[in-house]
Chains A and B, each alone.
Chain A
Amino acid sequence: MKNSGRAGRAKKRKSIILSVLLGMLTFVCCYPIIFLLAGSFMGTGELSENLGSMFQGNGGYASWTLLPFEPTLRSWAEVVLDTPGFFVMFWNSMKITGGILLGQAVFGIPAAWGFARYRFRRALFFLYIVMMMMPFQVMMLSDYLIIKEMHLMDTLWAVILPGIFSTLPVFIISQYFKEIPEEILEAARIDGAGETGIFLRIGLPLGKAGIISAMVLQFLECFNMLEQPMTFLKKQSLWPLSMFQPQITAETAGAAFAASVFTLLPAIWVFAAGYEFLESGIQAYYGSNV
């Protein structure tokens, strides 16, 4: 009895040590967010005191404090009120992401249903999987050729249209649709429901989790898109936020921090709101039978 108590205590202590270690690692993972938030609330004076040596070249090193000493909203105001260029980028990002997600809902969800519930040649779905795995450099020339052919260069459509037909969400959503028991659909057929009705009234509600998780993953992906816009958008007025390159100089450091936080906010919001679905979506995407 005494022995097991001691062993239990040792086990408990081990578990706490593990928790602390992993907790520290988690803190490191999340630190960039804390860093950016802190920086965005520091005034110009505090920032140049901290980071000054990086752009003054007087020797010495940049320093940092976990929290701002004199928090101020000045940098935020500067980005919101005085940086029209930043908002153009923000809206471009929203247009691109929104356009792609909407298109994927219209084209991708029915395709996922088709693949999940009807018989197809395996080769067709394999094509989808291969397309989903190719990095951009492989598709770069082919994308360019078709976009030029359609006279879409230097329009947001050059990024949106190929994005809509990305095969990844089709793949994720179909994993969820496959899990709906066939009996439910058969019962609906016997009751006289049409195939479209079955998709709309049974498939969509039962596959909701899959659809949302695919959308969350795709939002994060589109919001972060760099290769496509930098290839197909030469006009700076079309650039999305993901192409924003913050410059830290004595004058712009504060704005750079606030702008970085603005870039972060939509992604973090989607992440937090869709967290529950994201976790299962990752499992469906990554953990499924490729």
Chain B
Amino acid sequence: MIRKKERWGLMFVLPGLTGVLVFYAIPCGDVIRRAFTQSLTGHFAGLMNFKQVLDNAAFRLAAGNTARMMCVCVPVLVALSLILAVPLQRGIRGGRWIKSGLLVPMAVPVASVVLLWQCMFSKQGFLNGALSLFGTAETDWMNTRYAFAILVFSYVWKNLGYSVILWIAALEGIPGEIYEAARVDGAGELLIFFRITIPNLFSAFFTITVLSLINSFKVFREAYLVAGDYPDESIYMLQHLFNNWYRNMDTDKMAAGGVLSGAMLFVLICLFYTARQINLPHSELEGNIADEEFRKSRKG
């Protein structure tokens, strides 16, 4: 009976799975193979391709920028969205509207917002106009190191809404009974915060971080549409570099570079994943607090 059911499951999955294998998994395997071969001769190249990529100054620049972008964007987004989520979850006037309003940027196509970015940040644009009132010198925002900050801003602008919604869901997901039970058991507010609120938010923290990480690659879109193929050095991302390699059909480098950045991301995701597994489920925590309080009361 069970075997029959399993066969049915395969029937449902198979058409889609075939596509996934043909378009993603198998070519991906092929790329991993290519990363270790020299395309000209077809010989096994060992780690040579990787060495070539790692020695490449452009790769170092792009990988460094991409990493820097992640390290700045993700904490800013995660923290800011949590700060906004707390009052919204408790309920304030117009909370529903604020929530939907924050989500709107998600729907605004990059191609249409580029116009505003141009008017805002170009040399004669709004920002310089506003700053000139204070007598500040003109800055060409998009073509200097400030371009990085602009990308961080547009990333936060675009991703704030869904992070807020996730935090709200996480805050709402903490069952009230746990709090009540802990209070009945005599746990103090501080203990409750550290033993209940924080651990319960941890799994949301994990998902929001991973997703923010993944979405941080998409700032390339803004960078490309505003600044084209060769932007300021500070926002030269891995995707720019891959586009260059693609134009020159540098398949060795693309393969090795792809495997490298894929592996890095994979390790990052696995790290977060394991960190999350350590997190204790609700019931256990409740038990712990009760035990602790019980022990305390016995002592006292």
Binding site for B on A (CB under 8 A): 15-16, 18-19, 22-23, 25-27, 29-30, 32-33, 35-36, 39, 51, 53-54, 57, 59-64, 106-108, 110-111, 113-115, 117-120, 124, 127-128, 130-131, 133-146, 161-162, 164-165, 167, 170, 195, 199, 220, 223-224, 226-227, 230-231, 241-246, 248, 256-257, 260-261, 263-264, 267-268, 270-271, 275, 278-279, 282-283, 286-288, 290
Contact = CB atoms under 8 A, between A and B. Distances in A.
B115 interface: yes
Contacts of A119: 2, 5-6, 9
Chain A at the B interface: SS class? helix
Given A61-B126, A62-B126, A267 B22 contact: no
Interface stretch (B117-125, B144-152, B191-199): B117-125
Nearest to A54: B124
A165 B93 contact: no
Interface residues of B, number: 98
A36 B13 CA distance: 44
Contacts of A231: 243, 246
Given A110-B16, A161-B23, A231-B243, 16 more contacts: A54-B124, A64-B126, A114-B10, A118-B6, A118-B10, A142-B31, A146-B27, A226-B220, A226-B221, A242-B110, A263-B109, A264-B112, A268-B108, A271-B103, A279-B103, A279-B165
Contacts of A59: 124
A244 B103 CA distance: 23
Residue from A140, A257, A267 having most chain B Cβ neighbours under 10 A? A140
Chain B at the A interface: SS class? helix
A108 B16 contact: yes
A248 to B, nearest CB: 6
Contacts of A144: 246
B115 A244 contact: no
A187 B34 CA distance: 52
Interface of B: 2, 5-6, 8-13, 15-17, 19-20, 22-28, 30-31, 34, 84, 87-88, 92-95, 97-98, 100-116, 118-119, 122-126, 128-129, 132, 157, 160-162, 165-166, 169-170, 173, 204, 206-208, 210-211, 214, 217-218, 220-221, 224-225, 238-239, 242-243, 246, 251, 254-255, 257-258, 261-262, 265-266, 269, 273
A227 B238 CA distance: 12
A18 B124 CA distance: 35
A246 B115 contact: yes
Contact of B109 (A114, A142, A241): A241
